[in-house]
Structures are given as structure tokens and as C-alpha cells.
């Protein structure tokens, strides 16, 4: 293994190395209003039941819709949607814009929540709020995924990963070490 010489680095730039997962589009709905927001920070917490956590800024219109409805859909866009993702991120629901219409996205009725799925995304995860104890203090929502909708192909979608400073990485080739794992660690 190669050793790396390291130097001091500004703390406000570490996200370029530690962003946890793919950029997602979060849909919400409350009292005849719907919205889509871009989210780059989320983390898996548990497998069964499937739980994840995410940060949603209180100044974001989606925060209000999600806080009131206590549910959302987390949609997984692919790399070919990068311009749509950036456009959604640069558009405010406060301006009265319907982001589904503006960006040509198809809303699909969810099974267990009121927020819509996005047909153009490769996967959609219906979520209900499992724990709101950190919402007020930290903006941290803990979700339980109650229904998953995943396209059978591609098996390994080319997802977007935000690195900060207007730059994305795209998920690329995979490396498998499945045969080396203990069964309980898979």
C-alpha cells in the first residue's frame, strides 16, 4: 500500500472527502403543496427496519412540509440528471414554482405516504418519520423506509456524489470482495 504525505487542510472543505452517499431528490407534500429538494447529506442507521437520517435546513420550504406531514420520498437520480439536479437546487419553492413542471419530472402516487415518487429516478424510498428528537436542535430527521421502489436495471446505477464547490463525482466501477466477508457482515 502506498503511504500518503498529508498537509493541513481547511475544515470547511472536508466535505469533498467525507460526503456519505449519492445526491437524492426529496419530495414532500402537505395541504395541497408539493416540493422537491436536493439533498447530499444522509446516512444509513439500521437495516431491519431500514432507517436512515438526514439533515434538512429549517430555512428550506421542504423542512416545513416534511415537519408537518412527517413523511417524504427519497428519490435516487442518475448522472444523466445532473443538470436537473442543479436546476432544482437553484430553484426556490418560495417563488411559487412547481419543480415537477419546470423540470419535466413525472410525479407518481406513492403507496404509503402522501409525497410523490419521481418516475425519472432509478429508485424511490417512501419514508415515515421514526424519530424527531433532533429536528429542532440539529435539523436531523430519522426516517424509517416503509416501501422501496427500485428499477431492476441498471444493477449499479451511475449516481451523483456532490463534492462541494459545484463539483460532482459519478459512481464508477465496483470492486467486490463478497467472498471474503463473513455471512453476518454482508
Taken in order of first residue, the domains within the chain and their CATH numbers are: 19-185 (2.30.110.10)
Q: Is the pLDDT of residue 26 over 80?
A: yes
Quote the CA–CA distance of 67 and 168 in Å, as a whole number.
29
Quick one: pLDDT at residue 56? Answer: 95
Quote the CA–CA distance of 65 and 71 in Å, as a whole number.
9
Task: Provide mean pLDDT across the span 91-107.
Answer: 94
> Dihedral angle at the C-alpha atoms of 67, 137, 12, 53, nearest 10 degrees?
-50
Nearest to 120 by CA among 93, 147, 157: 157
Q: What is the Cβ-side half-sphere exposure of residue 65, based on CA atoms within 13 angstroms? A: 23
User: Cα angle at 95 between 90 and 98, to 5 degrees?
Assistant: 80
DSSP state of 163: E
Query: pLDDT (tens digit, 9 = 90+) per residue, 102-154?
Result: 999 999 999 999 999 999 999 999 999 999 999 999 999 999 999 999 999 99
The answer to whether 93 and 61 have CB atoms below 8 angstroms apart is yes
Report if pTM > 0.75: yes
Dihedral (CA of 114, 117, 164, 9) sign: positive
Q: Is the pLDDT of residue 11 over 90?
A: no
Query: pLDDT (tens digit, 9 = 90+) per residue, 32-51?
Result: 999 999 998 899 898 889 99
Quick one: pLDDT at residue 143? Answer: 97
Query: pLDDT (tens digit, 9 = 90+) per residue, 15-25?
Result: 666 666 899 99
Q: Where are the alpha helices (DSSP H) in the chain?
A: 15-18, 61-69, 82-89, 99-102, 135-138
Nearest to 129 by CA among 31, 63, 38, 85: 63
Dihedral (CA of 153, 154, 155, 158) sign: negative
Amino acid at each position: 500500500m502506498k503511504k500518503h504525505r498529508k498537509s493541513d487542510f481547511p475544515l470547511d472543505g472536508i466535505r469533498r472527502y467525507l460526503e456519505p452517499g449519492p445526491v437524492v431528490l426529496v419530495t414532500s407534500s402537505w395541504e395541497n403543496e408539493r416540493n422537491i429538494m436536493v439533498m447530499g447529506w444522509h446516512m444509513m442507521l439500521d437495516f431491519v427496519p431500514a432507517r436512515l437520517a438526514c439533515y434538512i435546513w429549517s430555512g428550506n420550504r421542504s423542512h416545513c412540509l416534511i415537519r408537518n406531514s412527517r413523511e417524504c420520498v427519497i428519490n435516487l437520480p442518475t448522472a444523466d440528471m445532473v443538470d436537473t439536479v442543479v436546476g432544482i437546487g437553484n430553484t426556490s419553492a418560495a417563488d411559487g414554482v412547481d419543480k415537477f413542471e419546470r423540470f419535466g419530472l413525472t410525479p407518481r402516487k406513492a403507496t404509503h405516504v402522501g409525497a410523490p415518487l419521481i418516475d425519472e429516478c432509478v429508485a424511490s424510498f417512501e419514508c415515515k418519520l421514526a424519530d424527531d428528537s433532533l429536528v429542532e436542535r440539529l435539523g436531523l430527521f430519522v426516517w424509517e423506509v416503509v416501501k422501496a421502489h427500485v428499477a431492476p436495471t441498471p444493477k449499479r446505477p451511475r449516481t451523483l456524489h456532490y463534492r462541494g464547490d459545484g463539483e460532482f463525482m459519478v459512481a464508477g466501477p465496483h470492486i467486490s470482495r463478497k467472498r471474503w466477508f463473513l455471512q453476518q457482515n454482508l
